[in-house]
Amino acid sequence: MDFLVEFDIQIPDDAPGSEVEERERGEAAAVARLAREGHVVRVWKPPVEPGESKALGLYRADSQTQLDDLLGALPLADWMRLTVTPLEPHPNDPMNGRSSDFELPVPRLSPVYRLEAALGEPLDLGDTPRGRRRVVALTDGTFTGPELNGRLVPGASADWQILLADGTALADLRYTLQTDGGDLLYVQARGVRHGSPEVLARLARGEAVDASKYTFRTSTQIETATPGLEWLNKGVFVSVGGRQPAGVIYETYLVE
């Protein structure tokens, strides 16, 4: 069953700032976990007045009772006023056009982390049979997410990149992340950055270009030996990239 949940969050005036921060971090981690388990489909932030904190969520549960248990376990639960609306299928829903005897779930994306990395001077190998080969080191950086935070490991991170004649870049990324808890993550990503000749020329000159003006996407795999993070080894991930004059940003999502 699907439910629309309206959250009105009212933090007590006398709540210590440290407690508020701890609960908010816990809330983000709990929602990320519920998304992986298939209970949180989407979350939105509606327009609010100054001082208000509200959210809208599309939740999925076997019953109202299960939903109540899930919501009651959230770290901010006792600071929330909830309005829950059960949802039923509508005959005009575009998804009803998928005529099949075997219904497949619609994939959704859950954010895992945002990596902001500095880049070293490219090592240009020149033109090879595959294209112009460059090795671009990721020299420093940090990543943040609902459950994962830490730093990029320099010396173990680079993009073995191919540049095509039209300016398209084929990414072959291999980088290492270390969480704040000391856990190591090995990430491999293959993808493409392409756009109009004018935009690619601006990127080649090192100019700042709005990431919506070009396409920069990768398919991503993550490996770790940490027992508490086994879900990373089993996940299917995609990343959206953005090039900056001296760095790069990757936002990585779990496909569910």
- pLDDT by residue (tens digit) across 237-248? 999 999 998 899
pLDDT tens digit sequence for 159-194? 999 999 999 999 999 999 999 999 999 999 999 999
Same domain, 148 and 223: yes
In this prediction, residue 38 has a pLDDT band, given cuts at 50, 70 and 90, of confident
Collapse the DSSP code of 88 into the 3-class scheme (helix H, G, I; strand E, B; otherwise coil) and give the result: coil
Q: Which domain holds residue 55?
A: 2-87
Sequence-separated (6 or more) residues with CB below 8 Å from residue 35: 41, 108, 110, 254, 256
Which phi and psi (to 5°) does residue 24 adopt? -65, -40
Match 């076997």 to its residue by tokens: 62
Nearest to 148 by CA among 122, 113, 185, 100: 113
Shared domain for 126 and 243, answered yes or no, is yes
Domain assignment present for 194: yes
Q: What is the pTM of this model?
A: 0.72
**Residue pLDDT, tens place only, 118-163:** 999 999 999 998 899 999 999 999 999 988 999 999 999 999 999 9
Asked if 256 and 38 count as a contact pair (C-beta separation under 8 A), the reply is: yes
Identify the pLDDT of residue 98: 58
- Digit-coded pLDDT (tens) for 59-115: 999 999 999 999 999 999 999 999 999 998 888 877 665 555 667 777 888 899 999
CATH number for 44: 3.30.70.1060
> In this structure, is residue 34 part of a structural domain?
yes
Q: Which residues are 40's β-sheet partners? A: 59
